[in-house]
Structure 1
């Protein structure tokens, strides 16, 4: 375990067992950047302060921290050692480190440990209050495309290719970073698989379909009849198909005609068709029967 020493918002040394490395702030910052996410640190108060608790649920506290080094805010998940098994923390770390360069996964910055807690430090992110989205937001498809399909289906593709199963792909686990990228969190609900598992891959696609329905439900007058514009029913039904050999796979989902209404080269995403027509409706009954999405 490594411990940084900070003075007047600058790094002055790094301690490891009987080794003490002293250097200028810039050189130590370069060293820290190389070590981050590859080493366990102790002494979190040397680097971070201004703790503000956002949420406490289950075995973890969620809070924001302010770095003394760059004065930026960061997102922290804190786990009490007596409430979580060590291997679960390290399994989460292995997965997050493996996916650290993927833009739609919460980016791990630092990992700290104290005598009674583990601290996972992420870039600052914020929650989306989906229930407050206007009907125009939903109809325009901007949020649906960005939150669920461009980002989350792409994320599922990466999880599948890396043999990782995430059991909680829900709207509650989709946060937004400062650049408006969607980031999947909740990797304490993820596991590394020893081999590809078609059933678990199918389950992640089903969760994406359920998330899409949930998003539309927030702004639907009737929860039993949800309007989904432009081929949306076809995509949802393909994702929610219960028979494994009939469910669409991740490549088919990403290439679905539902996405023809968006300009992939614009940022933020802009529609080629400003107001899509409401071509179809999804109901509880329609989830178990074929849908003609062209009607």
Structure 2
């Protein structure tokens, strides 16, 4: 497995890998867990060669967020990826991704504006900008992202489609189902922030979401189901609920009631030092 930190060696290595067939890219911020490794395993099924990027992107962190505290474990991450048979790890520094004079920002309207976009102003601009750069640097045939951040996946697909990207094309950006712990909590690097007591309480998030979905699908008024979900989280030890919304699965518009289209229930809530997000499908009416 190659570990590369600068652009010229990356370009040479990628061109060499390309002679063997399709290249899949799995973008990450490191602190890898089995959710990331599931993406890698899926990438290996879809492509001859797999590249994983590891970059903690400062553009997607807002003021007073956890940029400095975000776990950085490159040696451990590389050992895990080597064990999975990854061909190349692209781990640039900030000075490589954003050299002196960098002045470009990609903003994706619509899908980026509500939910996490409202709670974390500028976050998705940072995501779209860094992912576009990663796509241009690696030029993968396909890319894989976890569905745990459903809004991020929608933003990246919209960006790729609107900018007419070819490597990868928007249709070659694949979502992979959320990987969960045995008790149902979605795997996340930020779960490491939780104390044992908070980790035990955090399972209330997927449990309350599933209960709300049962209510929504059985005809309970949406406002009642969502307010009940929020009350359950606060009673279980969560400090606050940033949002709990039923949205159109494609464009992420907030729905006033259950509809006949594919839908997702999206929630973000804070417990201890962690801000946890999750989403689940809701059956159309």
**Do they fold alike, i.e. is TM over 0.5?**
no
Report which structure shows greater RCO (CA 8 Å, sep ≥6): 2
Larger proportion of helix: 2
